[in-house]
Structure 1
Amino acid sequence: MDLLNEVKDAGIIGAGGAGFPTHAKLTSKAEYILLNGAECEPLLRVDRQLMAQFPDEIIRGMEAAGRYIEAHKAIIGIKGKHKEVIVLMRARIAALGLANYMEVMELRDIYPAGDEQVLVHELTHRIVPEASIPLKVGCVVINAETALNISQAMAGTPVTETYITVAGDIPRRLTMKVPVGVSIRDVIGQCGVENVDDYAVIDGGPMMGAVMNNVDGYVTKKSKGYVLLKKEHFLIRKKSVNIDQARVISRTACEQCRMCTDLCPRYLLGHNMQPHKVMRALSYNLGDVKEQQIAQLCCECGACELFSCPVNLHPKSVNILYKQKLAEQGIRYQPTQLEFTPRSAREYRLIPSKRLIAKIGLTAFDKPAPLTQIEFRPEYIRIALRQHIGAPAIPVVTVGEQVKAGQLIGKIPDNSLGAAVHASLDGTVIENTQDFIVIKVGSYV
């Protein structure tokens, strides 16, 4: 079996949070394969610890993917502040005889260094065109955990677990390996939180993650972290503003200072993403949404909303509002150029991570979250059939059927983009719907 089918059968998706099926990335040839080890979201600690604990597996997984797409060079991007990880990865690359093919490049400690398009430019000096993907400039990007999963797939092991950091204003900050389908409450409970209802929980990183309406959900393959803060914290109050509220606030108070645009990572790469113009359209109640197609260039990193705006308005939310309006009318942004150069001021407008963390009130919680072995013993697991971009998986098991950890329980629909789904623990299927499969774990059967 070739690597593409091994990856496809293992159900590997982008572990950085987006969830794009990895096998689809292996169908094209590219000049570079890039490993995103930036992990630029504040407080999250997964990738750096995986590279420290599984360097050989990650290197082998990346090499295999790179060779498969016929990449001439493999580059691992790690923030320069993680010196021990950089030294280790370079040593292991040399020991494995890959120094002529693979290298580690140090990234600046900026936000969002892990944005796919920022990463491509920082590592290759190329700029992905507007509304396009890294492949357009000869690059394929994978995440550190994704590379680890590729290595495991080569050994016949599918994705049944994910690594998660739980951080924030809590007694015990941890990073842990969690079986897919375990309840979020069980995960948070490992961190000394007596009553999770006393907190607001951000699903993902504090910049791009959303505040959860409740924590009665279940871990998926793309779960990366949970940040717990008191409900009165600035970040929670800011993120809890809905789009309608953001529209009213932004319409009445925007002073057109341009800070949201001048510090926008995509604008600084030369793209036409100009949030202040979208805010202007809102302020003047301009009804022709076709003129606001630039909103579709927004990567939703949150820099404009949580760092740049001097009066705490909501440019990202307004971009999202116009994205929705454009989608409803079937309007897509049409680029007018293919080649881009960075804005001349880019080097002076990069956002330092420490300043960002201070601005959003997280300095006190910017502490280690050590990778800790936890044995989960849930009574049930609930495994979603849509954990990825694309069509949901189709169940291949029935109620009453006994399954083993690693067994295929959901397949990719024919002629569709999707990802296979596997049982993460032994047990018996007790519920089977078009959205999820519930398994009663073996020790409770």
Structure 2
Amino acid sequence: MATTEQIKEFGIVGAGGAGFPTYVKLGSETEIFIVNAAECEPLLHKDKELLRLKSEIFYKGLVTCLDLTAAQRCIIGVKAKYTDLITHLKETNPAPDRIEIMGLRDFYPVGDEITLIYETTGRIVAPRALPSSQGVIVNNVETIYNIGLGTPLVTKFITVGGDVQQPVSVEVPIGMPFREVIALAHPNLKGADLAHMEEDFAVIVGGPMMGKLATSLDEPVTKTTGGLLVFAKDHPLIQRFETAAQEKRVKRIGKSACDQCSICSELCPRHLLGHPVEPHKAMRNLMFSSFAEGTDQTLAILPNTLACAECNLCTLVSCPEGLYPAQVTIASKKQSMAAKATLDAANEDNAHPLIDYRRTPVKKIMTRLALDRFQNKGALSAFALHPKQLTIRTSQHIGAPATPMVTTGDKVTRYQKIASVGDKLGAEIHSPVDGQITAVNDREIVIAPFA
């Protein structure tokens, strides 16, 4: 069984979020250990594929997690509609007395950590509190699989989907350029050149709800890259993402059109759990904030925005006017954090009485965002990969960046440690290949793989 020291040495971080070092989570005991297998973002499939095809390694990692945390109960939360997968997980379950497979409803964001805890246990984590406050630890499928491997973390599973001929889930070396990964799914370039596809296409890194637009297709895969979704630039989702990134435009639109219907708050996943976040009040705050064009558009401090999960549901689905309440709420949240505002929500621990009726089905999101025109699948497929170079970032995780341990010209082997955080919070970095270091700086290490 791997120890927390080995997990730290292997550089394993949360594969489904911001990259929190896994050894820290597993360094505490817990009552309940939950596996987040919900994969609630549309068009993403790599976690289900891992469970389907690599369940032995996954379960090995899961048993390690349970032993390290002394968990009394384990729940694997997977959508109930995947009946074949649930059957497979039950048939291969090595410890049915310790591990329960629980079917989840098909809504967004059932994979949100706090929502998942409520759906599987009925417990409500208070705003800004950690799952440990309710005796729970949550980890996602790929993170647990990486623990089961028992090797340094050097590859990443990614779903490539959207406007492609063959959506796939693939395992690629960390540091591989997005462009080369996307090519594996044969994007529908309509005559465009793959080398210049960004002239007509955009790529969302992550899922269509919470992902980010890639600034360059030469960006490298990191330990937290989970999806690469290709869309034509005139696709409505890309247009929404591009507008959402323009803060002044978002605020101008909000001030001119919000009619305070409050639907954004009524459907907010955290509000439904009794958390005090109410996007319509952030919009109201915007409407009554005075600032002139060209000036610093500062909003009043709203501590309740600190409870926002940034799921983007209110912007992309809930708002009937097509406004941007999520971005306004997040802007206010950032200002509240900068002002060191505090959130007093000790009594906000009761779920909304209509919570079961106000969940947003994924099918509705697929239709609303014009995603139903694409193939919603992504079978795990193997490819012969020959990247010309790998760019390994020294910060792929929460915590301190890793300090390079190699210099230009050094030869390295697969799994060799090439950067370290020492005793600081963070993650060790290892080489995914046998190769030679061609460039090193504080931000990244470039490796040319040997043929």
* Bucket of the pairwise TM-score, normalised by the shorter protein: over 0.9
Question: Is 1:256 aligned to residue 253 of structure 2?
Answer: no
- 1:14 corresponding residue in structure 2: 14
Please identify runs of 4+ aligned residues in structure 1 that moved more than 6 A: none
Query: Structure 1 CA distance, aligned partners of 2:441 and 2:101?
Result: 45
What are the residue-to-residue correspondences of 1:16-415 with 2, within 5 Å? Answer: 16-93=16-93, 96=94, 98-153=95-150, 157-193=151-187, 194-195=193-194, 196-197=197-198, 198-241=200-243, 242-285=246-289, 291-329=301-339, 331-337=340-346, 340-414=349-423
User: What is the letter of the counterpart of residue 366 of structure 2?
Assistant: I
Cα deviation per residue 1:243-277 (whole Å; 9 max; x = unaligned)?
A: 22111111111110001100000000110010101
TM-score, normalisation: structure 2: 0.94
The answer as to whether partners of 1:184 and 1:215 remain within 8 angstroms in 2 is yes
Distance across 1 between alignment mates of 2:102 and 2:344 = 31
Does structure 1 retain, via aligned residues, the 8 Å contact 2:300–2:332? no
Q: How many residues align?
A: 435
Deviation at 1:87, TM superposition (A): 0.3
1:226 is matched by which residue type in structure 2? L
Change (3 A) 1:220 1:190: same
Once the two structures are TM-superposed, the CA of residue 132 in structure 1 deviates from its matched residue by 1.3
Q: Do residues 438 (structure 1) and 435 (structure 2) align?
A: no
Give the aligned residue type for 2:49: Q
CA root-mean-square deviation:
1.5
Could you report, residue by residue, the CA deviation over 1:326-350 in whole angstroms, capped at 9, with x for unpaired residues? Answer: 2333x23323306612100111100
1:16-38 deviation per Cα after TM superposition (whole angstroms, max 9, x unaligned): 13211111101211101100000
More deviation in 404-413 or 115-124?
A: 404-413
Task: Find the counterpart in structure 2 of residue 420 from structure 1.
Answer: 428
Determine helix, strand or coil for the equivalent of 1:375. Answer: coil
The 3 A distance-change label for structure 1 pair 354 and 63 is same
Write the letter of the residue equivalent to 1:422: H
Residues 40 and 2 of structure 1: CA distance in aligned 2, closer, same or farther (over 3 Å): closer
Once residues 404 and 166 of structure 2 are traced to their aligned partners in structure 1, the CA distance between those partners, rounded to angstroms, is: 38
Q: Conserved in 2, the CA contact under 8 Å of 1:40 and 1:113?
A: yes
Q: Is the 8 A contact 1:307 1:359 kept in 2?
A: yes
d(CA) in 1 for partners of 2:405 and 2:300? 44
Q: Quick one: structure 1 residues 263 and 180, their matched pair in 2 at CA, closer, same or farther if it must change by over 3 Å?
A: same
Distance 1:219 1:41 in 2: 19
CA offsets 1:225-246 (integer angstroms, 9 cap, x no match): 0111111111000110112211
- Aligned equivalents of 2:101, 2:428: Cα separation in 1: 32
**Partners of 2:241 and 2:299 in 1: CA distance:** 25
1:286–1:141: structure 2 CA closer, same or farther, 3 Å change rule? Answer: farther
1:78/1:107 contact within 8 Å kept: yes
* Structure-1 separation of matches of 2:178 and 2:405: 25
Task: Tell whether the 8 Å contact from 2:276 to 2:348 is kept in structure 1 after alignment.
Answer: no
Shift of 1:214: 2.2
Please state whether the residue corresponding to 1:15 is helix, strand or coil.
Answer: coil
- CA distance in 1 between partners of 2:422 and 2:268 (Å): 38
CA distance in 1, matches of 2:64, 2:281: 44
Give the distance between the partners of 1:317 and 1:21, measured in 2 at CA. 28
Deviations 1:92-124 (A, max 9, x none): 11xx2x111111000000100100000001111
The DSSP-based 3-state class of the residue aligned with 2:373 is helix
In 1, distance between residues paired with 2:327 and 2:301?
A: 18
- CA drift of 1:211 comes to 1.6
Gapped runs of 5+ residues in structure 2?
188-192, 292-297
TM (normalized to structure 1)? 0.95
State how far apart, in whole Å, the 2-side matches of 1:367 and 1:276 are: 32
Unaligned runs of 5+ in 1: none
Cα distance in 2 for residues equivalent to 1:282 and 1:307 = 20
What residue identity is the alignment partner of 1:186?
E
Q: Distance in 2 between matches of 1:17 and 1:168?
A: 21
Equivalent pair of 1:37/1:77 in contact (CA under 8 Å): yes
How many percent identity over aligned positions?
Answer: 36
Q: Is the partner of 2:52 in helix, strand or coil?
A: helix
- Determine helix, strand or coil for the equivalent of 2:302: helix
Mapped contact 2:301–2:332 kept (Cα < 8 A): no
